Amino acid sequence: MTVYAAPGTDGSLMTYAERYDHYIGGEWVPPASGEYFENPSPVNGRTFTEVARGTAADIERALDAAHAAAPAWGRTSVAARALVLNRIADRIEANLEAIAVAETWDNGKPVRECLAADIPLVVDHLRYFAGVVRAQEGGISQIDDDTVAYHFHEPLGVVGQIIPWNFPILMAFWKLAPALAAGNCVVLKPAEQTPASIMYLFGLIGDLLPPGVVNIVNGFGVEAGKPLASNPRIRKIAFTGETTTGRLIMQYASQNLIPVTLELGGKSPNVFFEDVASAHDDFYDKALEGFTMFALNGGEVCTCPSRALIQSSIYDTFLADGVKRTEAVVQGNPLDTATMIGAQASNDQLEKILSYIDIGKQEGARLLTGGERAELGGDLAGGYYVTPTIFEGDNSMRIFQEEIFGPVLAVTRFDGEDDALKIANDTLYGLGAGVWSRNIHTAYRMGRGIQAGRVWTNNYHAYPAHAAFGGYKSSGIGRENHKMMLDHYQQTKNLLVSYATSKLGFF
C-alpha cells in the first residue's frame, strides 16, 4: 500500500505549474484574451493551478499551426509516425507513476485505477496504433485486363477533438493515437473540469512531436469548443460527451460538410443469469466483482454498468451478496492505492448525482445502501464524494433510464431470457452491456440480442486496444480502440489507371 504525496507537497512525484498556457505549434502560448480560469482538485475542492481561457482567436492560432504542420506530417512514412507514437508510449511508461498522480489530482479518481488502467491503456493504445498503421494496406482492384483501381489511404488533414473529463488523458489518446497514426494534425480541446493533466503530460512528451502536429487549447465549451467544432478549417470533428452537444456538433458539421465521430454515453445493463450462482466458486466471486463495477471511476464511465438485471430465482441472495460487496468498497484519499472509490470530478457532477438519488426516492425505488454525500473530513474536506449507492426498482424509473454518471446502481429482476433481453434493450442507448452466465448458449444469444456496441461476456470494464468500442442507437457514431478507427481519420484516394493503348472509340 502506498499513499502518494499530493502534487506540490514534500515528496510528491510531480508538481503542477502555477499556470498553464495553451500548447500551440510546440510552444506555450498565452491566451489572446489574457484571461485564465481556476482549476480546483475534486480531491479537496481547492484550486491548484490556473489555465488559459481560450477563445476563437486561440483556436484560429492553433489551426494556423496545425495547417502549417499538416503537409509535412501527412507525408512522413508510416514507419516514422509509428516510431513517434512508440517513443511517446515509452516516455509515458517511464513516467507512469507521476502521470497517474497528476491524473488523480485533476480528476479525483483513485490512483490505483490510473496506475493499473488509465495510463497503461494510453501506452498500449499508442503502441497498438503504431503497429496497425504499419500493417495497413491499400487496395488494388483489377477492373479488367488493362484497367486497375489503386486505393491509397491519405490523412484528412487537420481535425478537431473535444475530450471529456472522466478519463482526461486516456480519452485524449483514444482520439490522438489513431489521428496521428493516420497522419493528421490535431487541435484538441480538453474538458474545462479537467484541463491540467494533459498539459502536464505534454510538458513531458511535447518534444517528441514536430511542432504543430498536436495543439491544445483550453477553455470553456461555448468560448473555445464551439469555435473549434463549427470551424470551416477542420476536416473532421470527434466528440465524447452528451446528446445535446452531440447533436449541436453534428449541426455545425453539417454546415461545413465534414464527418463526425460521437460517443454519447449509455445506460448499460449488466445481466446475471441464475447459473452464475450454481456454485459459490471463483466465478461467482468474479460475477460479484462485475456487479460492483458500477463504482469503477466513481461511476463516471460512459459504459458504467448502472442497471443490474438479476434472474428472479437468485435475486434475493445474489443481490444481498452484491450489496455486501458494494459496502466493502473503500472510499477515501484518492492518492492512497488502497482506495477503491475517490471523488466525483466536479461540484456540479456531485449535485447532479444527489438530484438523481432524490428523484429515485420520489419514484419509489428502494434504497439498499449508500444514497448520500460522503463527508470525509481532514485533508479531504470540501472534496466531492458520494457513497456507492444501490436502488431496486423498475426499469421505467428515471434512475434506470438516465446516465447518472455517478456510483449509483439501479437493480431489477427478470424471468427468463426473453424478459432479460426486453429489459436490457428498453433504453435509448446502446453503448455497453454485460452478460454473466456459465451457459455458452445463453451468453451467446444474449450477447447477439442486446442492442449495444460492446457486450462484455463474463467480464466487464476491460478496454483493450484491438476490441472495437462504440455505440448503437443514441450512443453515437463510430468505433474507437480498433484499427477501424483509422478509417475515421483517413480519406480514400482512388487512382483509376488504364494500361490500354487503344482508344475507347466514343470520339
Partner 1 sequence: MEQAGTPERVAVTDAAASQLRRLRRRNGPLMFHQSGGCCDGSSPMCFPDGDFITSEADVRLGDLAVAAEGDDEAFTVPVWMSKEQFQLWSHTHLTIDLVKGRGAGFSLEAPDGVRFLIRSRLITAAGVPDELSGPVSCEVPAAGGTGR
Q: Which range binds partner 1 by CB under 8 A, 92-100, 147-155, 393-401, 449-457? A: 393-401
Residues β-bridged to residue 270: 308, 434
Contact pick of 203, 221, 259, 382 for partner 1 (by CB under 8 A): 221
Residue 473 CB, nearest approach to partner 1 (Å) = 9
Placement of cell 448502472 in the chain:
306
CA angle 362, 363, 365 (to 5 degrees): 100
Q: Please, what is the minimum distance in Å from the beta carbon of residue 244 to partner 1?
A: 4
Give residue for cell 504542420. 69
At 71, the amino acid letter reads P
Q: How far apart are CA 388 and CA 65, in angstroms?
A: 45
Residues belonging to the active site: 263, 302
Place of cell 454498468: 305
Q: Which stretch binds partner 1 (CB under 8 A): 99-107, 200-208, 285-293, 394-402?
A: 394-402
| Nearest CB to partner 1, comparing residues 27 and 351 | 351
Vertex 199: Cα angle to 194 and 202 (nearest 5) = 140
What is the Cα–Cα distance from 122 to 168, expressed in whole angstroms? 11
Q: Which C-beta is closer to partner 1: that of 84 or that of 431?
A: 431
Nearer to partner 1, 213 or 386 (CB): 386
With CA atoms as reference, report the closest residue to 322 among 398, 376, 392. Answer: 392
**Residue 398 in contact with partner 1, rule: CB under 8 A:** yes
Pick the binder of partner 1 from 44, 218, 240, 333 (CB under 8 A): 240
Applying CB under 8 A, which of residues 104, 161, 245, 297 lies at the interface with partner 1? 245
Q: At what angle do helices 282-292 and 315-327 cross, to 10 degrees?
A: 70
Q: Can you tell me which of 60, 223, 419, 487 binds partner 1, judged by CB under 8 A?
A: 223
Taking CB under 8 A as the criterion, the residue among 123, 130, 186, 191 binding partner 1 is 191
CA dihedral sign, ordered 422, 427, 429, 431: negative
Longest CA pairwise span in the chain (Å): 88
Verify binding: residue 429, partner 1, rule CB under 8 A: yes
Cα within 13 Å of Cα(283), Cβ side: 14
Instruction: State yes or no: residue 329 binds partner 1 (CB under 8 A).
Output: no
Residues ≥6 apart with Cβ < 8 Å to 126: 85, 86, 88, 89, 92, 173, 177
d(CA 13, CA 335) in angstroms, rounded, equals 12
Considering only 12, 86, 243, 491, the residue that binds partner 1 (CB under 8 A) is 243
Instruction: Compute the distance between CA of residue 213 and CA of residue 206 in angstroms, rounded to an integer.
Output: 10
Pick the closer one to partner 1 by CB: 89 or 229. 229
The 10 Å CB-count burial string (b at 16+, else e) for 39-62 is: bbbbbbbeebbbbbbbbbebbbbb
Distance in Å, CB of 267 to partner 1, minimum: 9
Closest CB 221 distance from partner 1, rounded Å: 4
> Min. distance of Cβ 396 from partner 1 in angstroms?
8
* Shortest Cβ 407–partner 1 spacing (Å): 15
User: In whole angstroms, what is the distance from residue 301 CA to residue 89 CA?
Assistant: 24
Number of residues that bind partner 1 (CB under 8 A): 54
Least Cβ distance, residue 329 to partner 1 (angstroms): 22
Told to check if 265 binds partner 1 by CB under 8 A, we report yes
Pairwise CA distance, residues 117 & 174, whole Å? 13
Q: What is the DSSP letter of 277?
A: G
Q: Is 413 in the site for partner 1 (CB under 8 A)?
A: no
Q: Which is nearer to partner 1, 119 or 262 (CB)?
A: 262
User: Does residue 247 bind partner 1 (CB under 8 A)?
Assistant: yes
278 binds partner 1 (CB under 8 A): no
Cα–Cα distance, 291 to 317 (Å, whole number) = 13
Between CA 172 and CA 240 the distance in angstroms is 10
Q: Mask 335-374, x = binds partner 1 (CB under 8 A)? A: -----------xxxx-xx--xx-xx--xxx----------
* Secondary structure (3-state) at 80: helix
Sign, CA torsion 244/248/249/253: positive
Which of 263, 336, 392, 417 is in the footprint of partner 1 by CB under 8 A? 263
Residue 164 sits in the site that holds partner 1 (CB under 8 A): yes
Site for partner 1 in 285-324 (CB under 8 A): 302
Q: Count Cβ atoms within 10 A of the Cβ of residue 429 and give its class: 0-12 exposed, 13-18 middle, 19 or more buried.
A: buried
What part of residues 100-139 is at the interface with partner 1 (CB under 8 A)?
none
Taking the complex as a whole, how short is the minimal distance between the CB of residue 226 and partner 1, in angstroms? Answer: 5
Q: Which of 242, 275, 327, 419 forms a contact with partner 1 (CB under 8 A)?
A: 242
Helices 119-135 and 96-107: crossing angle, nearest 10°?
120
Residues that bind partner 1 (CB under 8 A): 37, 53, 164-166, 191-193, 220-223, 225-226, 229, 240-248, 251, 263-266, 302, 346-349, 351-352, 355-356, 358-359, 362-364, 396, 398, 401-405, 428-429, 474-475
